[in-house]
Amino acid sequence: MSITALRRLILIGLLLAIGLGLSLASPSFLKLDNLMTLLQEASQTGIVAVGFTLVLITAGIDMSIGAVIAITAMICANFLTYTHIPAFAFIPVALGAGCLVGLFNGFFITRFKLPEFIVTLASRGILAGLALLIAVKDADGFVSNVFIQDPVYLGFGGTVGPFYIITIVFLVLAVLVQFFLKRTRSGTNIYATGANPTAARLSGINTDKTIFAVYMFSGFCASLSSIFLSARMMTAMPEFGIGSEMDVIAAVVIGGTPFTGGIGDIWGTVIGTVFLAMIKNGILKLGISPYIQPIVIGGIIVVVVVVDVWYKGFAERLARNRARRRTAEQDRAAA
């Protein structure tokens, strides 16, 4: 069994164990209602995490996702408050804004060879400020709460059967992107770009184009999740999404996509988001102070990264031994 498969198996085992523990500790955990809410929350992080995973596979990082959520929410709030344009017409514009941010990020990363972290951190600052600037204000200039009444828009927060629409969208997106990653040339290019950019370029891959594409997609995913968020909350606030990078990073890292690039996939991210949502849900269900959530999440990130580094060293040792055995065999054959 490959080492990634083994890691995944352990993660799923852990997920089931925690689930079992929680259902024993809290009778309401296994209720359909609670499970659907859990999945709904997982999907909220998950949609953003899908885009973020692609960025991470190229060995980049996108710190602007939280602020993209905020700006998207504010764009929608403006359309809803000041115009009569139907939701189906302005939502594509809002999604386009996310892509535009990705375009901006990609431009500075590829053209000026700036570090991904710096570029996207700067966009985060700019967007967070812009979101406040364009927020709907009352007569005194204070940010006012927008109450969303548009039925079409609110529909995004709804359910089909027991499932929230967002959960369905998340799963469909995950399946499509996973397939894209593993079975198309563009998907392969993403891995190659992250694993060894020089080699990728030498092989004729346009790594700049790949980088543009992943940041645009990451922006798109963040915008998409923003629409679901405001639809569910029935309001839009300029603080939406700010700080949510932490959850997204945690989910993706738990899922087994490392920061070093070239490895990872969407299945891992799906498991990671459910894992994280379950932990958060568990904290609520067990009646522990919610303030402990970020501490737990931060702690999990550290533990996972440490274990992964250790695990990687272990796997490399195995691979080295195997290579050595092969060399010996070859020499014997040559002799």
Partner 1 sequence: MAENSDASEEVLLDCRKICKSYNGPMVLSDVDFSMKRGEIHALVGENGAGKSTLIKIITGVTGRNSGTMVFEGKEIGHDHSRTGAQGLGIAVIYQELSLIHGMTVAQNMFLTKEPRMPVLGIINIRRMNSLAQAMIDRYGFNLKATDVIDGLSIGQRQTVEILKALNGKASLMIMDEPTSSLTSAESAQLFGIIRQLKADGISVLYISHRMEEVFDLSDRVTVLRDGRLVEVLEKERIHPNEIIRLMIGRCLDEKDSKCVMERKGGEVVLDVHGLSSEGKFSDISLQLHAGEVLGIGGLVGSGRTELVRAIYGIDAHDSGSISFQGKPWTPGVSQSIRGGFGFVPEERRLQGIMGGISITGNIGITNLDSIAGKGFVSDRKELALSRKAVGLLNIKPAEPSLPVGNLSGGNQQKVVVGKWLIRDLRLLIVDEPTVGIDIGAKEEMYQTIARLASEGVSVILVSSDLPELTRLSDRILVLRKGRIVKEFAEGAVTEEDVLRASSGILEGGAA
In whole angstroms, the minimum distance from the beta carbon of 187 to partner 1 comes to: 8
Among 1, 5, 139, 202, binds partner 1 (CB under 8 A): 202
DSSP summary character for residue 143: B
Q: Count of alpha carbons within 13 Å of 33, Cβ hemisphere only?
A: 2
For residue 143, the cross-strand partners are 137
Among 104, 153, 170, 191, binds partner 1 (CB under 8 A): 191
In whole angstroms, the minimum distance from the beta carbon of 113 to partner 1 comes to: 13
Distance separating the N- and C-terminal Cα atoms of the chain: 32
In whole angstroms, the minimum distance from the beta carbon of 210 to partner 1 comes to: 11
Which residue, 234 or 309, has its beta carbon nearer to partner 1?
Answer: 309
Residue 328 binding partner 1, by CB under 8 A: yes
State which of positions 249-268 bind partner 1 (CB under 8 A).
Answer: 262-263
Which residue, 23 or 188, has its beta carbon nearer to partner 1?
Answer: 188
Residue 54 binding partner 1, by CB under 8 A: no
Residue 185 binding partner 1, by CB under 8 A: yes
Residue 326 binding partner 1, by CB under 8 A: yes
Taking CB under 8 A as the binding criterion, the range among 67-75, 89-97, 190-198, 224-232 that sits at the site for partner 1 is 190-198
Q: How far apart are CA 64 and CA 149, in angstroms?
A: 29
Token reading at 325: 């055995």
Q: How far apart are CA 211 and CA 218, in angstroms?
A: 11
Which residue, 191 or 217, has its beta carbon nearer to partner 1?
Answer: 191
In whole angstroms, the minimum distance from the beta carbon of 203 to partner 1 comes to: 5
Residue 184 binding partner 1, by CB under 8 A: yes
Residue 324 binding partner 1, by CB under 8 A: yes
Taking CB under 8 A as the binding criterion, the range among 5-13, 164-172, 216-224, 324-332 that sits at the site for partner 1 is 324-332
Which residue, 157 or 262, has its beta carbon nearer to partner 1?
Answer: 262
Q: How far apart are CA 165 and CA 112, in angstroms?
A: 40
Taking CB under 8 A as the binding criterion, the range among 36-44, 87-95, 159-167, 177-185 that sits at the site for partner 1 is 177-185
Strands (E) in 107-241, as ranges, are 146-147, 159-160, 163-164, 235-236
Q: How far apart are CA 66 and CA 266, in angstroms?
A: 20
Which residues touch 273 (CB under 8 Å, ≥6 apart)? 42, 43, 45, 46, 49, 251, 255
Contacts with partner 1 by CB under 8 A: the residue count is 37
Strands (E) in 47-124, as ranges, are none
Q: How far apart are CA 241 and CA 189, in angstroms?
A: 30
Token reading at 138: 């009352």
Residue 205 binding partner 1, by CB under 8 A: yes
Residue 238 binding partner 1, by CB under 8 A: no
Which residue, 31 or 316, has its beta carbon nearer to partner 1?
Answer: 316
Pairing outcome for strands 159-160 and 146-147: unpaired
Which residue, 2 or 289, has its beta carbon nearer to partner 1?
Answer: 2
Residue 327 binding partner 1, by CB under 8 A: yes
Among 37, 188, 235, 293, binds partner 1 (CB under 8 A): 188
Taking CB under 8 A as the binding criterion, the range among 22-30, 213-221, 281-289, 315-323 that sits at the site for partner 1 is 315-323
Which residues touch 258 (CB under 8 Å, ≥6 apart)? 56, 264, 308, 312
Q: How far apart are CA 189 and CA 195, in angstroms?
A: 10
Dihedral pair phi/psi, residue 279, rounded to 5°:
-60, -45
Task: Render 200-258 in DSSP notation, one character per residue.
Answer: HHHTT--HHHHHHHHHHHHHHHHHHHHHHHHHHHTEE-TTTTTTTHHHHHHHHHHTT--
Applying CB under 8 A, the residues found at the interface with partner 1 are 179, 183-185, 188-189, 191-192, 195-196, 198-205, 262-263, 316-317, 319-324, 326-328, 330-335
